[in-house]
Chain A
């Protein structure tokens, strides 16, 4: 198992280095100094900055320096927010993203696996048909419609009607719903969020619910399809011929097989836990990773773009490795070959 994990990690090192090379290359197609100084810079300023950014060194040296510093999550200072390091911005944007995505993923998975199980258990009966119709309806509506209607009925309308006790609001100050505390390891400041439950409900519950409703249709249908497919396999008949109860067949025989595609599905969504949902973050004004990266791109904030891309790419690769490892854990055919 360990050698399996190690092998997977080593395979992905060149892939990751390639991604970083590509990102750095793309950001140097135009002299970054112009992005920093604008069009009206004079020769002297440009030369000075090129020197201080290390742009006069050969590309390979710059690349090496970027990697070396990157190991300590040191991506320099933001151009836009002078005096703030990219690392600080990165670490500060992860908790807001996760305070939406983690509860959303857990809720979505639990609900849609349960619904999928119910649907496939009662396959062909009215309850199954009802659930399938609901899922199809749910997934044929656009994300934006959910956001707009969600905001209108979930927050705007109740406030308009003067319901003082109604807790949900659209986008509030980030400082309100949690403050950052931190501890240090090896000189590295690790922040962690001090979440205030009531204010979490106030600002995060609505986007979480919208996120759950949006994913439910797809997920339910996917899980049901996976389970129905497993129910038609020969080993199910073997189990019935042994005298197993329908419950045993569904929850032991079928479910363990269905876990393989289910886990893969969940794992492939893991990087989004950290990067967050760009749409939700934009509409609900959540200072998460998605929104911060988009803002950095429109601001041409090169160090931020490089740093964020490096981290997001790393998370993707790790999630792929994690998927493989978990695959191997539930599927003996993968583990031993």
Chain B
């Protein structure tokens, strides 16, 4: 079940058996179920899946940003970062990691910034918590960060309020906040979903460039495989709280092994091939409700290759040794050599 980073760098974050449950009015639900993966220093890892598959819960579990009252991270979960298990770390330890070692940006740039504070103040705040710089140094660093995220006129923008900036500019400010302390990992949860297509590309390019400059690993969460193709090294595909396939971008795009991955790939809009009035193929059916998960393969009900076995048991995640894994009884695009059946 263990995924090695494709690059030979040591993993900087190791997630093992992450299981996150919520207490709801209808009982306990498991939103993230036994998820394990590594993040290597400086790599870009994509986490994809339709909405509701548990991508946000996975990332907020790592940051421990879920509402305490209703969230239970299973005690056997381990989130190892620099020798600390974030799954059980106390609030003070988490605070010193958040924004400093691991930073996060979100989907909604329009609402993610505090409307009543100047953007400079909001960057300065992170520096105040995590550095020993004095006020003047922080101011200089703040302006430098705005310049780094390519905001024109940073000396003026620094004293503006969020509402004076466009959505794309605000997301740049969010990136500036996230990167001002040079974190080891940036978790970007659907950072471009709310933006126009042209702005999306700019933001992705910016993140790509900054990642190289600062050697930050990026965990890019998206439901858009097109975005993944553009920037990721490796991909994790999630479905209904589980990992159902992992692999390098190249493998995932050219030899998807799970029917769900294949279906996701088919729903990517292709440039120049869009015919008017013709809708993109979407995956029929919906993600099963967490209150009512099948005990067999969770994708079976929507799978076009479904067979009897698929509704009798749930497949394990099978590792094929080349950094790839799939959770399917009848994987597609098998390499000529027979796969080695991995650990259970």
Contacts and interface: CB of A to CB of B under 8 A. Distances in A.
Interface in B102-159: 103-104, 106, 108, 111-117, 125-126, 129-130
B111 A242 contact: no
B9 to A, nearest CB: 25
B16 interface: no
A260 B99 CA distance: 28
A234 B178 CA distance: 15
B164 interface: yes
Contacts of B108: 234
A332 interface: yes
B163 interface: yes
A264 to B, nearest CB: 14
B113 A235 contact: yes
Sort chain B's interface into a size bin: 20 to 34
A262 B174 CA distance: 28
Contacts of B227: none
A238 B130 CA distance: 15
A248 to B, nearest CB: 8
A256 interface: yes
B95 interface: yes
A233 interface: yes
Sort chain A's interface into a size bin: 20 to 34
A241 interface: yes
B129 A235 contact: no
Interface string B9-48: 0000000000000000000000000000000000000000
Nearest to B187: A241
A241 to B, nearest CB: 4
Interface string A222-252: 0000000000011101111111111000000
Contact of B129 (A238, A243, A330, A336): A243
B95 A257 contact: no
A119 to B, nearest CB: 15
Interface string A129-163: 00000000000000000000000000000000000
B115 A332 contact: yes
A39 interface: no
A237 B125 contact: no
B161 interface: yes
Interface in B90-105: 91, 95-100, 103-104
A187 interface: no
Contacts of A239: 114, 125
A131 B248 CA distance: 54
B141 to A, nearest CB: 15
A51 interface: no
Nearest to A246: B91
A83 interface: no
B146 to A, nearest CB: 16
A333 B161 contact: yes
Contacts of A333: 115, 161, 163
A260 B164 CA distance: 19
Given A241-B99, A242-B98, A233 B111 contact: yes
28 contacts: A234-B108, A235-B111, A235-B113, A235-B114, A235-B115, A237-B65, A237-B112, A238-B113, A238-B174, A239-B114, A240-B98, A241-B65, A241-B99, A241-B103, A242-B103, A243-B95, A243-B97, A243-B100, A244-B95, A256-B114, A256-B116, A257-B115, A260-B116, A332-B161, A332-B163, A333-B115, A336-B161, A336-B164
Given A241-B65, A257-B116, 14 more contacts: A234-B112, A235-B114, A238-B174, A240-B65, A241-B63, A242-B99, A243-B96, A243-B129, A245-B95, A253-B117, A257-B115, A260-B116, A332-B115, A336-B161
Closest A-B pairs by Cβ, 6 of them: A243-B99, A242-B99, A235-B114, A234-B111, A332-B161, A243-B98
Interface of A: 124, 233-235, 237-246, 253, 256-257, 260, 330-333, 336
